[in-house]
Amino acid sequence: MTHPFRDVAIVGVANTEQAKRLEGHTSFSIAVEAVRLALADAGLDPGAVDGAVGAMAGPLEYQLGSGPAWRGYGPANINGVTTAALAIGAGLATTVVIADGGASTYTDRAATAPWTRPENEFVMPWGMFTAAEFALIARHHMHTYGTPVEALATVAATIRNNGHVNPEAVMTGRGPYTVDDVLASPMIADPFRRLDCAINSEGGAALIMTTVERARDLDGIPVYVLGAGGDRFGPAYQHPPSWTMGGRTDLVNGYIGRRAAAQAFDQAGLAPDDVDGCEFYDPFSFEIIRQLEAFGFCADGEAADFVLGGGIAIDGPLPVTTDGGVLSYSHPGASAQMLQRVIRAVQQLRGTCVSNQIDGAEVVFASNGGAGALFCDVLVLGREAP
Amino acid sequence: MSAGSGSAPNGDPSAELRPQSNGPTPAPTPISAPYWSGGAVGELRYQWCGGCELALMDPQPACTRCLTQDLEWRVSAGVGAVASYTIVWRPPLPRFEVPYAPAIVRVDEGFDLLTNIVGCTVGEVEVGMRVSVRFVDRGDDVWLPYFAPA
Ligand SMILES: [Zn+2]
């Protein structure tokens, strides 16, 4: 069987400035700036775009003067990148923009960010929000495997230190952080303390995909989708985020993303050992421990020891979330920060990271979502065409 | 960043867990109304599929295994064990009094329920703890099924 993404290449990526507040911007205007930068990165004119994915796809089609254009009805994240790759591979579009941004949306600072507290009759009366949903998953793992809070704190310190040395991170220069710093920060939703939890900020992100044929005419280094997958167990933040979801024992919600990763590695003809770095989605520290096990980088119950031994450090065997992720780099809304995992993976493979460049990275794994939200999408990206 | 209302120091294990006095009240749907109103007569109600012998929670239009719409409302004994929990010290909205303890309770009839643990201190909550239902009247025919140590 020929590879499903053999005709597709990522040719442009861009993040705008990321900050706690970007005065004068709306979510759409900062997304447009990201698209302009990503097109410039690709060396493409706006007129080349004939497809868009994301909540802003419609306004972007109009802004870019596109049309008739193909549109993907997914968010601008790994799921959207996968949708775009399928559409390009099927010949429905040639050059697709995947973009999103957040600005001027989080103004009521007495509350947590609006995307952390979707309303539903079964979760609202219990004071649920994202930190509590993910804490229920973490607690199960800690109880089952004896996972210590020091392992969670090591994840938080490691990724936040990646942001500390990244001049483009919202939290640049705010460290360095120690495990003790994390364990001394205020409790938010036990076992998560403030430094275990994602920040919030503003910014835009965009990614351009096109055909391999068109990519040959461009100057930049193309990056290829070697494998993709996505796992879901229903709507996020409605049903109890239990580890087993109704007593299942085979593919459990606690290890959501396991099937997706196996599919992605199978498509790529690769295994976890072949990966040079991981741009994992890091909404809460524990999610990294869970993903290491779910995706097969560690055996079940063994990721805490791997983390405590320096396994995910930038100078360790498997650097994780090298720009600081949503713990430190940026979290500008509902989906741009997920696309930023893909953008960072592309920068690692092109060798263009402004900090924490992994020398000679050939294969990078990226993820979105987590067990607290009942979804997990993954990509295996590489420098060589599949 | 608001700390939420409540006077206990952050992380204090001796803090008491109580029902919310000003929490939001869910708006029942035709599917969920029997669940929310059960507390009026002291009943923790759940759906039962006789065809495949499956207990359903939360309320659904059809069985999540066989998709039959022929579901029966049954009454649970209201007893179970804490499958997982968290203690919230920074709430999503200022109206929530901290600390409070969101938990998944595995009810003995075979379903998982999202609730809050009350009637004990923060330090007493643990995985596996036996708990039983404590209804709190929220008005408008809505009773919230909190759980307390059995
Ligand atoms: Zn059934």
Q: Tell me how far CA of residue A168 lies from CA of A31, A54, A197, A346, A355, in angstroms.
A: 17, 24, 20, 16, 9
Phi, psi of A105 (to 5 degrees): -105, -25
pLDDT tens by residue, A170-207 = 999 999 999 999 999 999 999 999 999 999 999 999 99
Cα–Cα distance for residue pair B26/A159, rounded to 1 Å: 38
Range from A114-128, A167-181, B31-45, B106-120 carrying the lowest mean pLDDT: A114-128
Q: Is the pLDDT of residue A166 over 60?
A: yes
Smallest Cα distance from B25 to chain A, Å:
6
The domains of chain B are located at 28-149
Question: What pLDDT does residue A104 have?
Answer: 84
Residue A112 scores a pLDDT above 90: no
Measured between CA atoms, how close is B55 to chain A, in angstroms?
A: 9
- Do the Cβ atoms of A109 and B2 come within 8 Å? yes
Predicted confidence at residue A115, as pLDDT, reads 79
Tell me, yes or no, if A254 comes closer than 8 A to chain B by beta carbon. Answer: no
Report the 10 Å Cβ neighbour count for A285. 30
Residue-level pLDDT at A243: 92
Query: Which pLDDT value is given to residue B6?
Result: 67
Identify the band that residue A1 occupies on the pLDDT scale cut at 50, 70 and 90: confident
Among A107, A117, A122, pick the best mutation site for testing chain B contact (most B Cβ within 10 A).
A122
Lowest mean pLDDT among A39-53, A116-130, A283-297, A303-317: A116-130
- Look at residue A211 and give its three-state secondary structure: strand
Looking at residues A39-47, what average pLDDT do you find? 97
Whole-number percent of chain A with pLDDT over 70: 99
Domains defined for chain A, CATH in brackets: 8-102 (3.40.47.10), 111-196+226-386 (3.40.47.10)
Burial level of B123, CB count in 10 A (0-12/13-18/19+)?
exposed
Q: How many other C-beta atoms can be found within 10 angstroms of the C-beta atom of residue A40?
A: 12
pLDDT for A92 equals 97
DSSP tally for chain A: helices H, then strands E: 12, 11
Q: At B3, is the pLDDT very low, low, confident or very high (cuts 50, 70, 90)?
A: very low
DSSP 3-state assignment of A20?
A: coil
C-alpha A282/C-alpha A171 separation (Å) is 15
For residue A75, is the peptide bond before it cis, meaning its omega torsion is within 30 degrees of 0? Answer: no
CA dist., res. B119 & res. A363, Å (int): 52
Contacts of B110 in chain A (CB under 8 A): 247
User: How many other C-beta atoms lie within 10 A of the C-beta of residue B34?
Assistant: 15
Closest Cα in chain A to B2: A110
Determine the Cα–Cα distance for residues A348 and A4; give it in Å rounded to an integer. 23
Identify the burial level of B77 via C-beta atoms within 10 angstroms of its C-beta, where 0-12 means exposed, 13-18 middle and 19 or more buried: exposed
Tell which residue, B17, B9, B33, has the closest CA to residue B141.
B33
Q: Does A127 touch chain B (CB under 8 A)?
A: yes
- Cα of B45 to ligand 1 centre, how many Å? 17
Higher local confidence (pLDDT), A166 or A119: A166
> Which candidate, B1, B12, B84, B88, places its Cα nearest to that of A189?
B88
Nearest CA in chain B to A237: B114
- CA-based nearest distance B51→chain A, Å: 17
Mean pLDDT within A46-67: 96
pLDDT band at residue A114 using 50, 70 and 90 as cut-offs: confident
What confidence category does residue B5 fall into, taking pLDDT thresholds of 50, 70 and 90?
A: low
Decide: pTM greater than 0.90: yes
Best CA proximity match to A124, nearest among B147, B17, B102: B102
Structure tokens at B105: 């309770």
Tell me how far apart the alpha carbons of residues B148 and A245 are, in angstroms, rounded to a whole number.
23
Cβ(A254)–Cβ(A137) below 8 Å: yes
Digit-coded pLDDT (tens) for A327-361: 999 999 889 999 999 999 999 999 999 999 999 99
CB contact under 8 A, A246 and B112: yes
Torsion of CA A85, A86, A87, A88, to 10 degrees: 50
A113 touches chain B (CB under 8 A): no
**B76 Cα to the center of ligand 1, angstroms:** 18
From A179, A256, A170, A222, select the one nearest A382 (Cα to Cα): A222
Contact B86 A140 (CB under 8 A): no
The token duo for A370 is 């987590």
Q: How many residues does chain A have?
A: 386
Q: Cβ of A246 under 8 Å from any chain B Cβ?
A: yes
Average the pLDDT over A55-60 and give the result: 96
For A313-333, the pLDDT digits (tens) are 999 999 999 999 999 999 998
Which of these, B79, B134, B77, B127, lies nearest to B103 by C-alpha position? B127
Residue B2 predicted with pLDDT over 50: no
Average pLDDT, chain A: 96
**From ligand 1's centre to the CA of A118, what distance in Å?**
29
Chain A CB contacts of B36 below 8 Å: 121
For residue B11, the chain A residues in CB contact (below 8 A) are 186-187, 190
Q: Nearest chain A Cα to B93, which residue?
A: A111
Chain B: closest CA distance from residue A351 (Å)? 38
What are the backbone angles phi and psi of residue A122, rounded to the nearest 5°?
Answer: -90, -15
A108 CB within 8 Å of a chain B CB: no
Q: How far apart are CA A121 and CA A374, in angstroms?
A: 18
The residues on B that touch A, with CB distances below 8 Å, are 1-2, 10-11, 20, 23-29, 32, 36, 57-58, 64, 83-94, 96, 100, 102-104, 110-116, 127, 138, 144
- How large is the average pLDDT for residues B28-55? 97
DSSP state, A358?
P
